[in-house]
A and B are shown apart, each in its own frame.
Chain A
Amino acid sequence: MDTTRKIQMNVNGTSYSDEIDVRTTLVDFLRVNCGLTGTHVGCEHGVCGACTILWNGNAVRSCIMLAVQADGSEISTVEGLAPGSELHPIQQAFMEEHGLQCGFCTPGFMMSIYEMISRNPDPSDEEIKDVLGGQICRCTGYQTIFKAVRSAIDKMAAANKSAAQG
């Protein structure tokens, strides 16, 4: 049986391809083969959400997906949020609201939140809770994360508005 396969995917707009062991998880591919170590592993069994990334626009847990499943797809990771020297509004909001302590869970949270806001720029508290409920943070007790989400929503709405006016 063939145990390796060549795969290719676009991560944050850059194409990566490699010959990999078929059992390689997506998160290992991103971290080891692509060198994108901003995506973290907290449990490796699909519960904590630290490894959340966007796969063709959908938030998924990259620890329980195989890299071969993502062959040919578009992936976004935390490194893609702020490619330049400016923080993304979600990142800015996390900083201002003290939405992180150790920061290990934060990339996963931000990718889930990014997906939620892209789907629905004006979510209710319940919808926000629903998204945060799938992520574990051991440090913050979630209160400041919740505030950061609200602030990020406002920042992004304001940016969209001024873009539309401009």
Chain B
Amino acid sequence: MSVKIPTSIDQLPNSNPRFIGQEVNRVEDPSLLTGRTQFIDDLVLPGMLHCAILRSPHPHAKIVSIDTSEAEKLEGVLSVATGKDAKELTNPAPTAPEGWGAYCLAADKVRFVGEPVAAIAATSRYIAEDALELIEIEYENLDVIVDAHKAAQDGSPLIFEEHGSNVMMQRVFTWGEVDQAFADADHVVTEKYRWNRLGANPLETYGCISKWDLLENSLTLWASVQSQSHVALGRAVVLGLPSNKVRVISQPHGGSFGGKGGFRGPDIAAILSRKAGGRPVKWIEDRMEYLGGGAGQSWDRHYELSLALTNDGEVTGLRVKLLDDLGATAEAFGTVSAAKPLAAFVGCYAIPVAEYDLTMVVTNKLPGAPYRGMGPPPHNWALEQTMDVAARKLGLDPTEIRRKNFIQPSQFPYIIPSGNEYDSGEYEAALDGVLEMSQYKALREEQARARQEGRYLGIGVVNTIEPGVFDWNAYAIVGVQGTGVPEGVTIAIDIMGKITCKLGFSLEGQGQYTVVTQVLADYFNVEMADIEIVYQDTLSAPPHFGPGGSRLGVAITGASLGAAEMLVDKLCTVAAVLMQTERENIEFMDGFCRIKGMPDAKMHFAEVAGAILARSDLLPPGMDPSPQATFAWTAAGRTQADDQGRAKSYLTAANACHVVLVEVDIETGHTEILKYFIVDDCGTRLNPSNVEGMTQGGVAQGVGAALLEEYVYDEGGQLLTSTFMDYLMPSVYEVPMTEKKALVTPSPFTPLGAKGAGEGSMHTTPAAIMCAINDALSPLGIKAHEVPAAPNRIWSLIQQARAGESR
């Protein structure tokens, strides 16, 4: 049957919905709050061994020899693995573009500091780590390349000799008559930007237990993974196992933000398990391993961005040139982050033509991984900051230049030059809302007064699009294939009338089990406590992907509603027989199958479900006696990418406008955030407190990006920020307590009108803070175009400006 999914709350079969759209308590919380939720490191299996990994101290070196004989002799050590085993038993990691992966244990050479070279499984982690010290390795150092510009040049040391170059991809994508637009422009503004490496750093690092059973030819993997089916497929490819013999069991995990992919660890533990006769092997990444060798470094980028403008500030063309440093390999899928900006290339603006000149290189640093936002946050900063530079040049207020260029509400659905379609939006209303909330004029006055007193206040006004509900086609330009990301659930009613919903992802923090519970409780008009969410592993669940790309809230709502519609159709068919009428006379409302026009002629769904299970004598012939339904949702209307990468990819375009006031201390270079205001429009809010949590959490990560977080490699390829003492995470002292307001422009295309919101402010906050800092420093003629704007960096800029003045 074709299923029609409600696109607004008032289309639900409930005359008085009590849960959806409300700030209900989360069903996840009682167990989390009492320490009962079982995270991966809490899980203990019979016969389980513990893995420790030996990592390369060199950024680029040939492995001459490895001697593990002493380690093998240590009491408690059960298996040892090196690159030789990896080569014999596994395949290199699959990548997009193809052919830039490596074995899970370095086979012939190491390509970055922290690369795994050997591993031990022992009866305790303490013993496994002792054993690492007994392994002898001889290396022969090779020339090191850490600079992306140099890496791209001919004659530079090669990370992958077989490719003859460090350039993974170089292409210019042209969308419209860009040369013409720039030739015709009254003004062209070009600026350069540097975004340094930072990363997800969920509070729980990665962890897994691998059990490779030779007899069964199967792998069971318990792990803290974000997208379990994707991880399962990867393991089947890497370990050469049939896909239906790989079972991934995703444990609840302590945050992900893109970083819980399980880079190498599961495969290393699998080899050790196989060599230990199939005993389960646990590997828990420690924080230093995460920082230096995990899936936690993202966005090492060099930008040049140009705007073509008319005299009155209309933007007529956009050029973006990106040199993206992906580190040593493409195996952690950082490459998709360079493709994702296509989903919202022109931000909130009706810029008619655009060009993307993209170069991706490999260097001797940790492979780049996804992080919340998946690539647009640096792009958004470059675009928004250049809008400010242009405004300053044309004598416009930052709000004016934005207002002049907004896509208007009447233009939706709107196709941007890079091919994606925006569903709906009210960008000017969001701007006006936040200007009013922040009392923008008064802020400008405050700024002027402060300047009189010799203080440097700055205001950032930034608006962005958060592309929501990702689709694989969004990443076609880097070689990802496919269209559609099915997300499925199975809903069942038991003989006592209680409802279970089975799905294929575990807890991560966004509260999606609560959302499903809200949706189903209202759909069936029961209490939330009457709905039980049941997690299923990769071999049990219907087709699924899980969280990622600001997608799951919308997708799981669609799946739940689709399955509910199917199940209710069956209930109504049976109710018609039981009430001796035709199917078309039956409707479902407030939990009852009832005869249209006869409000008292009705049966509760539980009663009908009970009859399906226990009264086969009453069922229509041929009906299977099972009150359950499975439905997988994917976004409709998605298209294959054309040769310029253009596709309808991300289904929704949420919008946010932030206003931030900062003060830069020009003696120390320190930035303090004084006030922060947000208007956010992500369509219908299924659970407003979930959304606010995503928004505020994104602000925190955005503050980290703009001011604190940076992975620093020295010229020799050594990581200098390998603990939380050097890699600075935002604390309550740095993160502003924001004032927020919601604007609700429902999506016309999605279940209940909701839009993707999970990446939240990460798209906006870094740009907003940087624009504010640049606003503060503009009287000194300073452009701070490198993040993070750490005090030392800003202080140096101030010193240079002063030296320039006194000359």
- CA–CA, A81 and B253, complex, Å: 22
Tell me whether A104 and B29 are in contact (CB under 8 A): no
Q: Name B127's closest neighbour in chain A (CB-CB).
A: A21
- CA–CA, A145 and B725, complex, Å: 23
- CA–CA, A79 and B42, complex, Å: 14
Report the minimum CB–CB distance from B431 to chain A (whole Å).
Answer: 23
- CA–CA, A151 and B319, complex, Å: 50
* Residues in B whose Cβ lies below 8 Å from that of A77: 35
Given the known interface contacts A40-B39, A78-B34, A79-B35, the answer about A45 and B287 at a Cβ–Cβ threshold of 8 Å is yes
Tell me whether A38 and B697 are in contact (CB under 8 A): no
Report the minimum CB–CB distance from A23 to chain B (whole Å).
Answer: 7
Tell me whether B29 and A143 are in contact (CB under 8 A): no
Tell me whether B26 and A142 are in contact (CB under 8 A): no
Bitwise interface map of A from 79 to 100 toward B, beta carbon under 8 Å scored 1, else 0: 1011000010001001110101
Of A54-62, A129-137, A157-165, which binds chain B?
A129-137
Given the known interface contacts A101-B255, A140-B696, the answer about A38 and B732 at a Cβ–Cβ threshold of 8 Å is no
Tell me whether A139 and B697 are in contact (CB under 8 A): yes
* Residues in A whose Cβ lies below 8 Å from that of B41: 31, 37, 41
Tell me whether B33 and A106 are in contact (CB under 8 A): yes
Tell me whether B29 and A94 are in contact (CB under 8 A): yes
- CA–CA, A46 and B204, complex, Å: 14
Report the minimum CB–CB distance from B686 to chain A (whole Å).
Answer: 14
* Residues in A whose Cβ lies below 8 Å from that of B701: 138
Tell me whether A141 and B203 are in contact (CB under 8 A): no
Tell me whether B737 and A146 are in contact (CB under 8 A): yes
- CA–CA, A78 and B701, complex, Å: 27
Q: Chain B interface mostly helix, strand, loop or mixed?
A: loop
Task: Indicate whether A105 reaches chain B with its CB closer than 8 angstroms.
Answer: yes
* Residues in B whose Cβ lies below 8 Å from that of A106: 32-33
Tell me whether B725 and A137 are in contact (CB under 8 A): no
Q: Which residues from 185 to 234 on chain B have a C-beta closer than 8 Å to any C-beta of chain A?
A: 201-205
Tell me whether B35 and A44 are in contact (CB under 8 A): no
Tell me whether B696 and A143 are in contact (CB under 8 A): yes
* Residues in B whose Cβ lies below 8 Å from that of A26: none
Q: Name A137's closest neighbour in chain B (CB-CB).
A: B203
* Residues in B whose Cβ lies below 8 Å from that of A105: 203, 254
* Residues in B whose Cβ lies below 8 Å from that of A137: 203, 700
Q: Name A103's closest neighbour in chain B (CB-CB).
A: B32
* Residues in B whose Cβ lies below 8 Å from that of A36: 35
- CA–CA, A42 and B254, complex, Å: 9
Given the known interface contacts A94-B33, A95-B33, the answer about A136 and B203 at a Cβ–Cβ threshold of 8 Å is yes
Given the known interface contacts A78-B35, A140-B700, A141-B735, the answer about A44 and B254 at a Cβ–Cβ threshold of 8 Å is no
Task: Indicate whether A1 reaches chain B with its CB closer than 8 angstroms.
Answer: no
Q: Which residues from 730 to 746 on chain B have a C-beta closer than 8 Å to any C-beta of chain A?
A: 731-733, 735, 737-738
Of B165-173, B506-514, B551-559, which binds chain A?
B506-514
Given the known interface contacts A91-B34, A141-B696, A141-B699, the answer about A102 and B202 at a Cβ–Cβ threshold of 8 Å is yes
Given the known interface contacts A37-B41, A101-B510, the answer about A136 and B255 at a Cβ–Cβ threshold of 8 Å is no
Given the known interface contacts A98-B26, A139-B697, A141-B700, the answer about A42 and B203 at a Cβ–Cβ threshold of 8 Å is yes
Tell me whether A104 and B696 are in contact (CB under 8 A): no
Report the minimum CB–CB distance from B198 to chain A (whole Å).
Answer: 13
Q: Which residues from 47 to 72 on chain A have a C-beta closer than 8 Å to any C-beta of chain B?
A: 47-48, 50
* Residues in A whose Cβ lies below 8 Å from that of B729: 47-48, 136, 138
Bitwise interface map of B from 505 to 533 toward A, beta carbon under 8 Å scored 1, else 0: 00111110000000000000000000000
Report the minimum CB–CB distance from A164 to chain B (whole Å).
Answer: 27
* Residues in B whose Cβ lies below 8 Å from that of A133: 731-733
Bitwise interface map of B from 233 to 270 toward A, beta carbon under 8 Å scored 1, else 0: 00000000000000000000111010000000000000
Bitwise interface map of B from 266 to 301 toward A, beta carbon under 8 Å scored 1, else 0: 000000000000000000001110000000000000
Centre residue among B692, B696, B701 by max chain A CB count within 10 A: B696
- CA–CA, A31 and B41, complex, Å: 9
Given the known interface contacts A37-B42, A43-B724, A94-B29, the answer about A138 and B35 at a Cβ–Cβ threshold of 8 Å is no
Given the known interface contacts A47-B724, A50-B203, A141-B696, the answer about A100 and B34 at a Cβ–Cβ threshold of 8 Å is no
Given the known interface contacts A40-B39, A79-B34, A81-B34, the answer about A48 and B255 at a Cβ–Cβ threshold of 8 Å is no
Task: Indicate whether A144 reaches chain B with its CB closer than 8 angstroms.
Answer: yes
Tell me whether A101 and B697 are in contact (CB under 8 A): yes
Given the known interface contacts A38-B34, A40-B39, A143-B737, the answer about A132 and B203 at a Cβ–Cβ threshold of 8 Å is no
Given the known interface contacts A87-B30, A143-B737, the answer about A43 and B126 at a Cβ–Cβ threshold of 8 Å is no
Task: Name 16 interchain pairs, CB-CB below 8 A, sorted by A.
Answer: A37-B35, A37-B39, A39-B35, A48-B724, A50-B203, A82-B33, A87-B34, A98-B689, A98-B692, A101-B509, A104-B204, A107-B35, A132-B731, A132-B732, A140-B700, A142-B696
Q: Can you name 5 extra interface pairs (CB under 8 A) apart from A48-B729, A101-B697, A104-B203? A: A24-B126, A40-B254, A102-B32, A104-B255, A139-B255
Across chains A and B, which 6 residue pairs bring their CB atoms closest together, nearest first? A38-B35, A104-B254, A103-B32, A102-B509, A101-B509, A141-B696
Chain A positions near chain B (C-beta within 8 angstroms)? 21, 23-24, 31, 36-45, 47-48, 50, 77-79, 81-82, 87, 91, 94-96, 98, 100-107, 110, 129, 132-133, 135-146
